[in-house]
Amino acid sequence: MLRAENLSVGYGNYVVVKGINLEIKEGEILCIIGPNGAGKSTLLKTIASYLEPKEGVVYLNGKKIHDLKPKDLAKEMAVVLTERVNPGNMTGFDIIAIGRYPYTDLFGRLSEKDKKIIVESARAVNAEYLLKKNFFEMSDGERQKIMIARSLAQEPRVLILDEPTSFLDARHKIELTLLLRKLADEKNLAIVVTLHDIELALRIADKMALIKDHKVIAYGYPENIMKRDVVNNLYDLKNANYSEVIGYFELKNNHKIDKKVFVICGGGSGVNALRYLVKNGYKVVVGVLHKNDADYFVAEAMGVEIIAEEAYSRISEEKFKEALKELKTSDVVVYTDFPIGEMNELNVNLVEEAKKLGKKIIYYNGDISVLKEI
């Protein structure tokens, strides 16, 4: 459907990204991510034929995209860029109607069919209520819906979006990314989008391209390419780690407070406590955790010291003694409210040992405020 072969993009004599090879089919979403200034927008503008390629070719259904006439291309591809628009007193209907330009006569008159498509495009993005509203009165989320509806009114097969969530709050970011997935599935659109939010990109993307240092450093299924070393390198992370299991970042345990906290947790009960402790600079040791536990994956991404047992195995005496040794040198013990069974019952013994040793024990049941007692 849409294919870039040995593509190099840039401005003037400057090449921003080179050697690009990408392919996207109908019904697929390709998310392009990378640090600011990496060339994501330049790549999109070249794919959209706003810029001429420095080298290579972009094909749309086997035709060179830069050879197509603008009006013909507009019937195949729609583009939504980051730049804010100021259309004066135009309504949502007026904005969406611009998308019908490739199909209208010389005078730009709208037929009944055009008007029907405008309404249907608004309905597709849950924006029918905005048709009569002035564009300047809309929120950023509403404006973005209208701009996407305008693109849909072109009846394209390919939709290009550059940072469509840039000015949106959390709710509208989620709503918009889910909308893109819906459009790909229900309208069989091929969608190419740049996003800053890796977590959202992972949820909707069929393919991802990671751009850094003037090249695509990884391309393919997100489940295959979004590995810790790759993503850490992409953003030059020093104080955080990307977690493949969580699909996002965790702060590293670079402790700055001379106080050691031993955390006894499991079943995901310790996630927020661990984040609080690491964020506030405590030295954290956690155990005994099974290697398939949610708390284990978070703690591992944080780089905290973990006393870990193999998955689906009873905590061994060896691991218990190892944990007890760390507990004895800890200043505070945090015990979370988590289910106890035969696999992890020795963790209860750790709490009893902490009592015998006279350790300060904080019982955490989900209320972070109790950790302030540390």
Residues sharing a CB contact under 8 Å with residue 325, sequence separation 6 or more, in sequence order: none
Strands 260-264 and 77-80 come out as: unpaired
User: What integer pLDDT is reported at residue 85 of this predicted model?
Assistant: 67
Q: Is 167 a domain residue? A: yes
Task: Out of 206, 237, 268, pick the residue that ends a domain.
Answer: 237
Q: Which domain holds residue 260?
A: 249-373
Please count the structural domains in the chain: 2
User: What integer pLDDT is reported at residue 323 of this predicted model?
Assistant: 97
Q: What is the 8-class DSSP label of residue 131?
A: T
**How many secondary structure helices (H) and strands (E) does the chain include?**
13, 17
> What is the gyration radius of the CA atoms in the chain, in angstroms?
27
Count of Cβ atoms closer than 10 Å to residue 13 Cβ: 6
Q: Is 99 a domain residue? A: yes
What values do phi and psi take at 277, rounded to 5? Answer: -65, -45
Closest to 6 in 3D by CA, of 21, 25, 24, 28: 21
Cα torsion 257, 260, 265, 267: sign: positive
Q: Is 60 a domain residue? A: yes
270 lies in the same domain as 233: no
Domain with residue 229: its CATH number is: 3.40.50.300
217 lies in the same domain as 347: no
Task: Out of 237, 264, 280, pick the residue that ends a domain.
Answer: 237
Q: Whole-model pTM?
A: 0.87
Q: Is 242 a domain residue? A: no
User: What integer pLDDT is reported at residue 333 of this predicted model?
Assistant: 97
Beta strands in the chain (DSSP E): 2-11, 14-24, 29-33, 55-60, 63-64, 77-80, 158-162, 190-194, 207-212, 215-220, 240-243, 248-251, 260-264, 283-290, 305-309, 332-336, 360-364
65 lies in the same domain as 98: yes
Helix (H) or strand (E) run with residue 152 in it:
helix 140-153
User: What integer pLDDT is reported at residue 84 of this predicted model?
Assistant: 66
Low-confidence ranges of the chain (pLDDT < 70): 83-86, 106-107
Which tokens go with 35? 């640090």
Cα–Cα distance for residue pair 104/108, rounded to 1 Å: 5
User: What integer pLDDT is reported at residue 219 of this predicted model?
Assistant: 97
Buried b or exposed e, range 167-195, using 16+ CB within 10 angstroms? ebeeebbbbbbebbeebbeebebbbbbbb
What values do phi and psi take at 260, rounded to 5? Answer: -100, 130
- CA atoms within 13 A of residue 146's CA, in its CB half-sphere: 27
Domain with residue 282: its CATH number is: 3.40.50.1220
Q: What is the 8-class DSSP label of residue 23?
A: E
Cα–Cα distance for residue pair 365/273, rounded to 1 Å: 10
User: What integer pLDDT is reported at residue 362 of this predicted model?
Assistant: 96
Cα–Cα distance for residue pair 27/78, rounded to 1 Å: 15
